Amino acid sequence: MEALRVRGGAPLVGEVRLSGAKNSVLKLMAAALLAEGATTIRNVPDILDVEIMAELLRRLGCTVDHDAAGGVVRIDVPAQPSHRADYDLVRRMRASICVLGPLVARMGAADVAVPGGDNIGSRGLDMHVDGLRRMGAEVTSEHGCLLAQAPDGLVGARVWLDFPSVGATETVLMGAVLARGETVIDNAAREPEIVDICTMLVSMGARIEGIGTSTIVVHGVDTLSPTDHETVPDRIVAGTWAVAAAITGGDVTVRGAHGEHLSIALEKLVVAGATVETLPDGFRVAMSEQPRAVDIVTLPYPGFPTDLQPQFIALNAVAAGAALVTENLFEARFVFVQELARLGADVRTDGHHALVRGRERLSGAPVEATDIRAGAGLVLAGLVADGCTTVYGVGHIDRGYAGFVPALRSLGADVERIDVP
Ligand code: EPU
């Protein structure tokens, strides 16, 4: 087993370069299933989840070449891919569910193991299922699998999502591009990753209007063609570096970032006392004083991202004053707070609210990362804790942050990966 050993104290100074977004690339890889032939995806982050998705696509009959160093994945999709995604891969990565829409759209059937809950909550699939049913699929759940069948193809429909779910928007979208007729997705998610997949689908020949708005209109086409697509930069990794600069009193330039995808988070850092400078290819965040506490309310995009909530709780834990953090997406995301408390943070939670009272110092201790973003939050807290913090569960961090330790070290952090018994 491995862990990260972090010795706090050093301000992070220097430059980092982003790669593509985890939460986009996995869906782009699934979207490749919609067209026979070879699709190339670029700016692919070197993370474990990409390997798991590559393995899933191979099991479905695709040939997948992954040039991890070059950040390129080439997926050659056969005329008749298999339509079964087994539990052994789905359980390793919940995002595997994103093959459901493309498989039923292209093959008229999908048999995908249902991912269980995870450490950030139960995470339902009801809106995915409801959307496919509205498009004429028969969907049943048997022996831990979702079986979706539409032997005569999906049919365009009006799909109103109860909540602008990222995953459900993607499932319906990938079903709709090959459906007969028009599909309207109301209350659709508007995340930059949704715009990214729409852009890729359009380059494959899909007809989509309202991209980036809450009403997406899709005119189904008979076939799509393979494409060559560059993944949108990872706004959550960018935001994590921004908080890393602010919490350590450092000065970090993030290259290859789209600052406009992070407007609220960067604005919050300004309120906390940071200087944020927009650059032609990214942004710079510098902080020269103790941060001031900032209230956070997580919401679907363009609201404050839940995936930056733990990092901002870490910031508030060493800020002047108190902050109220409200989590509206994932009920169990505050589990991480108990680990932060081991470093001396003063955080009280009640339902989906957390009250964080800032302290001048945290104190290093062993802690356990329970999910990707909790892991990032704990490493950031470790960077400002006295002494040594050992972050266990480093596998979670590896799922979302490519080359995290070398990048931290290049900025001056005292961090190393260690083997633990
Ligand atoms: N939900 C339902 N029913 C559904 C779908 C969603 O109840 O059919 C609920 C979920 O349980 C959750 C809320 O709706 O409470 C939001 O879920 P959403 O579908 O928007 O999220 P997701 O697609 O499961 C993606 C990212 C998450 C990110 C969220 C929100 C991927 C692989 N995951 O999840 O990323 O937090 O959108 O932006 O794209 C992470 O990277 O650490 C991460 C958890």
Note the pLDDT tens digit of each residue in 353-377.
999 999 999 999 999 999 999 999 9
pLDDT of residue 115: 83
Q: Which amino acid does the sequence have at 296? A: I
Please state the rounded mean pLDDT for residues 252-276: 97
Identified catalytic residue from 118, 281, 346, 386: 118
Q: What is the pLDDT of residue 379?
A: 98
Q: Return the ligand 1 atom nearest residue 193 CA.
A: 39
| Residue 288 and residue 405 share a domain | yes
Mean pLDDT of 372-386: 97
Query: How, if at all, do strands 158-160 and 182-186 pair?
Result: parallel
Same structural domain, 147 and 288: no
pLDDT band at 124 (very low <50, low <70, confident <90, very high): confident
Distance CA 312, CA 325 (A): 9
Q: Which amino acid is at 60?
A: L
Query: Within this chain, do residues 71 and 219 fall inside the same structural domain, yes or no?
Result: yes
Q: Say what percent of the chain tops pLDDT 70.
A: 98
Domain end position, chosen among 230, 253, 275:
230
Residue 120: the pLDDT is: 58
For the CA of 372, the closest atom of ligand 1 is 42
pLDDT over 80 at 119, yes or no: no
Q: Has residue 213 got a pLDDT over 80?
A: yes
Q: Which of 12-16, 140-144, 170-174 has the lowest mean pLDDT?
A: 140-144
For 110, the 3-state DSSP assignment is: strand
Q: Which residue has the higher pLDDT, 361 or 185?
A: 185
Identify any residues that bridge with 121 across adjacent strands, giving them in sequence order.
118
List of residues 6+ apart from 116 with CB closer than 8 A: 91
Question: Band of the pLDDT at 117, cuts 50, 70, 90?
Answer: low
Q: Which residue has the tokens 């509206």?
A: 328
**How many other CB atoms are found less than 10 A from the CB of residue 63?**
12
Residue nearest to atom 4 of ligand 1 (CA): 125
Per the CB < 8 A criterion, the answer to whether 50 and 29 are in contact is yes
Is the pLDDT reported for residue 87 higher than 70? yes
pLDDT value at position 57? Answer: 97
pLDDT at residue 121 above 90?
no
Domain that holds residue 346: 2-18+233-419
Same domain membership, residue 85 and residue 8 = no
Q: Is 128 in the pocket of ligand 1 (CB under 6 A)?
A: yes
Per DSSP, the residues of 3-50 read: EEEEE--PPPEEEEE--B-HHHHHHHHHHGGGSSEEEEEES----HHH
Query: How many CB atoms neighbour CB 365 within 10 A?
Result: 17
State the Cα–Cα distance between residues 75 and 298, nearest whole angstrom.
35
C-beta of 125 in contact with ligand 1 (< 6 A)? yes
**For residue 24, what pLDDT is reported?**
98
Give the pLDDT confidence score for residue 92 in this predicted structure.
86
Question: How far is residue 288's CA from residue 18's CA, in Å, rounded to a whole number?
Answer: 24
**Ligand 1 neighbourhood includes 52 CB (under 6 angstroms):** no
Q: Is 123 in the pocket of ligand 1 (CB under 6 A)?
A: yes
* Per-residue model confidence (pLDDT) at position 122: 60
Give the orientation angle of helix 48-59 with respect to helix 22-31, to 10 degrees. Answer: 10
Stretch 35-59: mean pLDDT, rounded? 96
CA distance 251 to 389: 22
**Are 46 and 144 within one domain?**
yes
Same domain (yes/no): 161, 55: yes
Cα–Cα dist 217/158, whole Å:
9
Q: Which two tokens stand for residue 216?
A: 């997406």
Which of 230, 264, 285 terminates a domain? The answer is: 230
Q: Are residues 139 and 245 in the same domain?
A: no
Please state the rounded mean pLDDT for residues 116-143: 85
- 209 phi and psi angles, rounded to 5 deg: -120, 160
pLDDT of residue 116: 65
pLDDT attached to residue 242 = 98
Ligand 1 centre distance from Cα of residue 318 (Å)? 29
Same domain, 221 and 242: no
* Residue 12 sits in the same domain as residue 66: no
Is residue 162 part of the annotated active site? The answer reads no
- Say if residue 94's pLDDT is above 90: no
Positive/negative CA dihedral, 119, 121, 126, 127: negative
Q: What is the mean pLDDT of residues 171-181?
A: 98
- Residue showing tokens 């409200």: 326
Same domain, 85 and 208: yes
pLDDT (tens digit, 9 = 90+) per residue, 241-250?
Answer: 999 999 999 9
Domain CATH number, residue 375: 3.65.10.10
Q: Which helix (H) or strand (E) holds 72?
A: strand 72-77
The number of distinct structural domains making up the chain is 2
Instruction: Give the SS3 label for residue 218.
Output: strand
Residue nearest to atom 26 of ligand 1 (CA): 23
* Count of C-beta atoms within a 10 Å radius of residue 289: 10
Residues 356 and 376 in one domain: yes
Both 110 and 175 in a single domain? yes
Last residue of a domain, one of 215, 230, 245: 230
